[in-house]
């Protein structure tokens, strides 16, 4: 399957996960820009205290508030929020207990970190709780404040535990305010409003982790969305040459003759180097083909994003967003 589906277009919370090093934050940011294209308002959220969004958009660290960080083509805008679990806990407690000054003192003492350590699930419940609040918040005109929320989630190894609020709640009090809040979070995460997207590279390990994560999401009754295949480089060799080149067979005479036609006269060392690079390229193309076949087992919509040799800057994010819009993201 290729491209965005109608079902995905209906989602309001887009959770983005992936193995470490696959470019999860980049894809989340590009997706936010793509979703905002054409005049919509999108919130991009991070939860791991990494300030990855600020770095990506080349800005100072984000405060705990929803800041406008980019305009999208066609009048849309992207805001960003870095959720700090300590601040979220205090904000939350304040709603019920009016802690005021005492809250800040307790924070200084490390009491908040202590409470979240005591019950590791509490941290996740607080973070997802804040995300839910953003998704459901009503704007001035009675519509939702945000048309979509994109969550840069923990990596694949931890994401199901992070989203499995029901399990986290088993650690926590069976009654009381947080129980009430968590029920709303569970409802949102398991509804058609939420899609969990996976970022993969065309390499063995990231693909395996992606498939494992899909199975885990299914088992936890969470809905896998699309697979974003990141950093896809163009195949350069004619398809018929790939197999033999990957076995080390590149016709040196033919290459040399071709180079001469183009006016390049190269010595033996250069030619050897060129051939070796070509063999490595062919090996990688083969590996990527195998990875693609394997990834197809997930039976999820797939969207490819190109490798950017110049690295990822703000302009590159717009480029990636444009690619996503071209693949039907809306």
Partner 1 sequence: MNRLDVDALLDNPETRVLVCCGSGGVGKTTTAAALAVRAAERGRRTVVLTIDPARRLAQSLGLGELDNQPRRVHALDLDQGELHAMMLDMRRTFDDMVWQHAGRERAEQILANPFYQTISTSFSGTQEYMAMEKLGQLVERDEWDLVVVDTPPSRSALDFLDAPQRLSTVLDGKLIRMLSAPARAGGRGIRKIVGAGFGLFTKAVSTIVGGQLLQDASTFVQAFDSMFGGFRQRAQATYELLRSPGTGFLVVAAAEPDALREASYFVERLSAERMPLTGLVANRTHPVLAPLPAPGALAAADRLERTGDAPLAAAVLRVHADRVAVADREKRLLARFTRAHPGVPLIGVPALPTDVHDLDGLHEIGRRLAGE
Q: Which residues, 240 to 279, sit near partner 1 by CB under 8 A?
A: 241, 250-251, 254-255, 257-259, 261-264, 266, 269-279
# residues near partner 1 by CB under 8 A: 80
Q: How far is the CB of 137 from partner 1 (least distance, A)?
A: 23
Binding mask 141-170 for partner 1 (x = CB under 8 A): -------------xx-x-------------
DSSP state of 121: H
Shortest distance (Å) from residue 89 CB to partner 1 = 9
Shortest CB 146 distance to partner 1, Å: 26
DSSP annotation of 191: S
Distance CA 237, CA 287 (A): 14
User: Residue 298 CB, nearest distance to partner 1 (Å)?
Assistant: 19
Q: Tell whether residue 180 is a contact of partner 1 (CB under 8 A).
A: no
C-alpha pair distances (Å), 238 with each of 33, 115, 241, 279: 35, 60, 6, 13
Minimal distance, residue 325 CB to partner 1, in Å:
25
* Closer CB to partner 1, 187 or 236, in the complex: 236
Residues 5-44 that bind partner 1 (CB under 8 A): 19-22
Q: What is the DSSP code (8-state) at residue 138?
A: B
302-306 and 41-46 beta bridge pairing: unpaired
With a CB cutoff of 8 Å and minimum separation 6, the contacts of 302 are 1, 2, 226, 227, 228, 229, 295, 296
Q: Please select the residue that binds partner 1; options are 91, 220, 233, 306, rule is CB under 8 A.
A: 233
136/256 with CB nearer partner 1: 256
CB 170 within 8 A of CB 161: no
CB of 73 to partner 1, least distance (A): 25
Which of 12, 21, 34 lies closest to 303 in space, CA to CA? 34
Verify binding: residue 316, partner 1, rule CB under 8 A.
no
Are 151 and 16 in contact, with CB atoms under 8 Å apart?
yes
Q: How far apart are CA 234 and CA 239, in angstroms?
A: 12
3-state secondary structure of 299: coil
| Rounded least distance, CB 251 to partner 1, Å | 7
328 belongs to the binding site for partner 1 (CB under 8 A): no
What is the contact mask toward partner 1 in residues 101 to 120, using x (rule: CB under 8 A)? xxx-xx--xxx-xxx-xxxx
Q: Give the burial string for 81-100 (b: 16+ CB within 10 Å, else e).
A: bbbbbbbbbbbbbeeeeeee
| Binding residues among 47-86 for partner 1 as defined by CB under 8 A | 48, 50, 52, 55
Cβ pair 156, 19 in contact under 8 A: yes
Contact residue for partner 1 among 73, 144, 172, 330 (CB under 8 A): 172
Q: How far is the CB of 175 from partner 1 (least distance, A)?
A: 8
Could you tell me if 237 and 180 are in contact, meaning their C-beta atoms sit under 8 angstroms apart? no
Q: Kindly identify the residues of this chain, within the stretch 279-298, that bind partner 1 according to CB under 8 A.
A: 279-281, 283-284, 287
Q: Evaluate whether 303 touches 327 at the Cβ level (below 8 Å).
A: yes
Query: Out of 1, 9, 205, 215, which residue is the one contacting partner 1 (CB under 8 A)?
Result: 205
């Amino acid at each position: 399957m290729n491209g965005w589906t109608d079902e995905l277009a209906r989602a309001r919370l887009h959770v983005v996960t992936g193995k470490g090093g696959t470019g999860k934050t980049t894809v989340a940011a590009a997706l936010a820009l793509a979703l905002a294209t054409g005049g919509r308002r999108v919130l991009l959220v991070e939860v791991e205290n990494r300030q990855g969004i600020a770095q990506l958009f080349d800005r100072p660290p984000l405060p705990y508030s929803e800041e406008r960080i980019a305009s999208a083509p066609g009048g849309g805008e992207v805001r960003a929020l870095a959720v700090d679990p300590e601040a979220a806990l205090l904000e939350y407690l304040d709603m019920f207990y009016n802690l005021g000054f005492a809250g800040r003192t307790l924070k200084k003492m490390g009491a908040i970190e202590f409470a979240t350590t005591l019950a590791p699930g509490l941290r996740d419940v607080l973070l997802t709780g804040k995300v839910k609040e953003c998704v459901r918040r009503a704007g001035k005109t009675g519509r939702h404040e945000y048309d979509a929320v994109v969550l840069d989630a923990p990596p694949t190894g931890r994401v199901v535990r992070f989203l499995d609020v029901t399990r986290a709640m088993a650690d926590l009090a069976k009654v009381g305010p947080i129980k009430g809040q968590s029920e709303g979070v569970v409802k949102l995460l398991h509804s058609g409003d939420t899609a969990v997207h996976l970022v993969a590279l065309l390499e063995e390990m990231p693909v395996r982790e992606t498939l494992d994560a899909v199975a885990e999401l299914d088992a936890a009754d969470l809905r896998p969305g699309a697979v974003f295949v990141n950093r896809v480089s163009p195949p350069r060799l004619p398809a018929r040459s790939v197999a033999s080149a990957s076995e080390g067979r590149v016709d040196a005479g033919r290459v040399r003759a071709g180079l001469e036609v183009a006016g390049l006269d190269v010595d033996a060392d250069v030619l050897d180097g060129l051939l070796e690079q070509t063999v490595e390229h062919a090996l990688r193309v083969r590996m990527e083909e195998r990875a693609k076949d394997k990834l197809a087992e997930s039976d999820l919509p797939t969207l490819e994003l190109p490798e950017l040799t110049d690295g990822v800057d703000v302009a590159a994010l717009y480029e990636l967003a444009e690619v996503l819009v071209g693949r039907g993201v809306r």
